[in-house]
A and B are shown apart, each in its own frame.
Chain A
Amino acid sequence: MSKILVIAEHLDGKLNPSTARAVSAAVAVKSEAVDVLVLSDKVGPLAAEAAKIEGVSHVLTIARVENAHPLAAILAPQIAKAAAGYSHVLAPSTTFGKDVAPRVAALLGVAQVSDVMSVEGSHAFKRPIYAGNAIINVEADPSHAVVATIRTASWPAANSGNNSAPIEALNVEMNLPTHTRFVELKQGKSDRPDLQSANKVVSGGRGVGSKENFEIIYKLADKIGAAVGASRAAVDAGYVPNELQVGQTGKIIAPELYVAIGISGAIQHLTGIKDAGTIVAINKDAEAPIFEIADIGLVGDLFKLIPELEQAIG
């Protein structure tokens, strides 16, 4: 029978919603236990939060001052040690999980399954290749542990509240490397919802035309309580910072509502939004590829249409 270890992702003392999404994937494996591992300098509130996630059997913690920042070289040996006795080690396929999980896999001498979209069996999974233009079924060797990253856009977050999993502190005695040092994290400050986990997202593309013009995207987003995103073209043109980029080379998201404004719809952008619930496209070019996948399309000048939209929303 299998036992699963899910690596928790967190920032500023809060669990990232990607953790509860990875728990959903773990539950889908139908194992005897789903344990969440929290590594931090201050594990208390994070462990308490993880213990509430439905489907979690135990929360394990490793509190060390070296774990204050998520440095793969420092976390991986601790995770590899904690993984003893587990059949699966799962992490969200975010920049955090993508950084640390392969390092854990190599320390365990096992292959990694990246970006799991669905669980087809205890060792069988579906994952995207070629920027999502093909989906493959992958089978991992059952005689080894499975290390996998979970494509967060493919999984709902496990519910939180009706659980109180026991919390256990692990004492991992080992020397950790000193060759890697955290310097700083420059975060784009925003009171808006987080792009990765927002229910609604309004994105602007090159059609918005300038950094100044992007204000109308922010204004519309604020009006409907949405996060703001952008196409790679808008990021490359310097209209918005890179962390707003949606697409294969940016964030892959699955909001309930995605509004693409002045975005033509390059394949790499479409890859990032194809799991969205409803896609709305507003573009002056009726032939733009974005209309091929949009659920609702509106052709016209965005500078005329956005004020009209705001008025109609009321």
Chain B
Amino acid sequence: MKILVGYKRVVDYNVRIQVKPDGTGVVTDGVKLSANPFDDIALEEALRLREKGVAEEVIVVGIGPADLTAHLRNGLAMGANRAIHVVTSDAVQPLTSARAFLKLVEKEQPGLVILGKQAIDDDANQTGQMLAALWDRPQATFASKVEIADGKATVTREVDAGLEVIEIQLPAVITTDLRLNEPRFIKLPDIMKAKSKPIDTIEFASLGVDAHDQLKTTHYAAPAKRSKGVMVKDAAELVATLKQKGLL
């Protein structure tokens, strides 16, 4: 079985996001970029399934500009067998991304597609569900445990009410939540090895995907700040203040 893994490059989660003063975007020049944390978890899960003998090949997929190659090399260094780079200089919205993935799925025929539940830049949380719909296959979103046997996956999902367990037939789409695993660190020899692993490049335009954006972002703003509060000296003063506000 092949596993396709979505591997998006985003602004590193430790970067404090600044909105440009003219409201046209967030500052990304000179800012550290890293793999989307949920995608690292997706790749780790795929690698573990390969190590268990459930899968033979793990393919990382990136959609982005020419310089995305270095990012995909990190995925290869982590352990993916090969990479597919869909080249476009445009930002790609989730529906378009799902349509592009579908083309790759039709070509590669994976038994499983594992994506992060959301990317930490646009926080859309859509692409996996959309791909599953377009592919007409099962989805197991927000996965915290995956077990595969007899052509089926039993997936534990983190839902608001607790943990939901569902059983899905493969092929299918799984999206990862934080608790699924802890991704491994890349070791230096693996970085060397990754240099000889193949990266297929495909021009986005050659996929024949409708890339018409239905959503336009017209303005960016910093969130409203909460005003600084007061400090109280002891428990009695805290309780008195809360009672005064009618909160106790």
A residues sitting closer than 8 Å to B (CB atoms) are 11, 71-73, 76, 94-96, 98-107, 109-115, 124, 128-141, 144, 177, 179-188, 196, 200, 224, 241-243, 249, 251, 256-257, 267, 274, 277-280, 291-300, 305, 308-309, 311-313
Q: A72-B141, A243-B161 are in contact. Are A134 and B248 (CB under 8 A)?
A: no
Determine if A95 and B231 form an interchain contact, defined as CB atoms under 8 angstroms apart. no
A107 contact set on B, CB distance < 8 A: 133
Q: Can you name the residue of chain B whose Cβ is closest to the Cβ of A183? A: B165
Q: Can you name the residue of chain B whose Cβ is closest to the Cβ of A182? A: B166
Q: A308-B234, A312-B239 are in contact. Are A103 and B166 (CB under 8 A)?
A: no
User: Taking the nearest CB of chain B, how far is it from the CB of A228, in angstroms?
Assistant: 14
Q: A99-B129, A112-B126, A138-B216 are in contact. Are A296 and B166 (CB under 8 A)?
A: no
Asked if B121 is an interface residue, CB under 8 A from chain A, the answer is yes
B121 contact set on A, CB distance < 8 A: 129-130
B residues sitting closer than 8 Å to A (CB atoms) are 11, 16-17, 19, 26, 93-95, 98, 120-134, 136-139, 141-142, 144, 154, 157-169, 172, 177-179, 213-223, 226, 228-236, 238-242, 245, 247-248
Q: Can you name the residue of chain A whose Cβ is closest to the Cβ of B25? A: A134
Determine if A133 and B223 form an interchain contact, defined as CB atoms under 8 angstroms apart. yes
Determine if A184 and B164 form an interchain contact, defined as CB atoms under 8 angstroms apart. yes
A296 contact set on B, CB distance < 8 A: 229-232, 238, 241-242
B179 contact set on A, CB distance < 8 A: 242
Q: A103-B129, A312-B239 are in contact. Are A138 and B178 (CB under 8 A)?
A: no
Known: A139-B218, A179-B168, A311-B235. 11 other contacts (CB 8 A): A76-B133, A144-B214, A185-B163, A186-B165, A196-B160, A243-B158, A274-B226, A277-B247, A279-B229, A296-B230, A298-B231
Task: Name B217's contact: one of A104, A137, A308 (CB within 8 Å).
Answer: A137
Going nearest first, the 5 A-B pairs with the smallest beta carbon separation are: A308-B235, A102-B129, A106-B133, A106-B130, A295-B229
Task: Name B134's contact: one of A100, A106, A186 (CB within 8 Å).
Answer: A106
User: Taking the nearest CB of chain B, how far is it from the CB of A219, in angstroms?
Assistant: 15
Q: A137-B217, A137-B219, A185-B161 are in contact. Are A106 and B95 (CB under 8 A)?
A: yes
- Cα–Cα distance between A181 and B124 once the two chains are bound (Å): 26
Determine if B217 and A257 form an interchain contact, defined as CB atoms under 8 angstroms apart. no
Task: Name B235's contact: one of A111, A224, A305 (CB within 8 Å).
Answer: A305
- Cα–Cα distance between A307 and B153 once the two chains are bound (Å): 48
Contact sample, A vs B, 23 pairs, CB 8 Å cutoff = A94-B160, A99-B141, A99-B142, A102-B130, A103-B133, A103-B139, A109-B95, A129-B123, A130-B17, A131-B120, A137-B217, A177-B138, A181-B166, A182-B164, A183-B154, A184-B165, A185-B165, A186-B162, A188-B162, A257-B242, A267-B16, A292-B228, A293-B226
Q: Can you name the residue of chain A whose Cβ is closest to the Cβ of B133? A: A106
User: Taking the nearest CB of chain A, how far is it from the CB of B85, in angstroms?
Assistant: 24
B178 contact set on A, CB distance < 8 A: 249
Determine if A312 and B132 form an interchain contact, defined as CB atoms under 8 angstroms apart. no
B172 contact set on A, CB distance < 8 A: 179
- Cα–Cα distance between A186 and B165 once the two chains are bound (Å): 8
Determine if B133 and A251 form an interchain contact, defined as CB atoms under 8 angstroms apart. no
Determine if B221 and A134 form an interchain contact, defined as CB atoms under 8 angstroms apart. yes
Determine if B129 and A95 form an interchain contact, defined as CB atoms under 8 angstroms apart. no
- Cα–Cα distance between A224 and B159 once the two chains are bound (Å): 27
A144 contact set on B, CB distance < 8 A: 214
A131 contact set on B, CB distance < 8 A: 120, 123
Determine if B221 and A141 form an interchain contact, defined as CB atoms under 8 angstroms apart. no
A242 contact set on B, CB distance < 8 A: 144, 158, 163, 179
Determine if A141 and B215 form an interchain contact, defined as CB atoms under 8 angstroms apart. yes
Determine if B129 and A136 form an interchain contact, defined as CB atoms under 8 angstroms apart. no
A140 contact set on B, CB distance < 8 A: 214-215
Determine if B242 and A106 form an interchain contact, defined as CB atoms under 8 angstroms apart. no
Determine if A312 and B236 form an interchain contact, defined as CB atoms under 8 angstroms apart. yes
Determine if A298 and B232 form an interchain contact, defined as CB atoms under 8 angstroms apart. yes
Q: Can you name the residue of chain A whose Cβ is closest to the Cβ of B216? A: A139
Task: Name A299's contact: one of B17, B166, B231 (CB within 8 Å).
Answer: B231
Task: Name A134's contact: one of B17, B126, B158 (CB within 8 Å).
Answer: B17
- Cα–Cα distance between A71 and B138 once the two chains are bound (Å): 10
B93 contact set on A, CB distance < 8 A: 111
Determine if B230 and A295 form an interchain contact, defined as CB atoms under 8 angstroms apart. yes
A11 contact set on B, CB distance < 8 A: 161
Task: Name A180's contact: one of B123, B128, B168, B234 (CB within 8 Å).
Answer: B168
User: Taking the nearest CB of chain B, how far is it from the CB of A248, in angstroms?
Assistant: 8
Determine if B137 and A294 form an interchain contact, defined as CB atoms under 8 angstroms apart. no
- Cα–Cα distance between A140 and B217 once the two chains are bound (Å): 9
Determine if B162 and A185 form an interchain contact, defined as CB atoms under 8 angstroms apart. yes
Q: Can you name the residue of chain A whose Cβ is closest to the Cβ of B26? A: A134
User: Taking the nearest CB of chain B, how far is it from the CB of A111, in angstroms?
Assistant: 4
User: Taking the nearest CB of chain A, how far is it from the CB of B11, in angstroms?
Assistant: 7
B216 contact set on A, CB distance < 8 A: 138-139
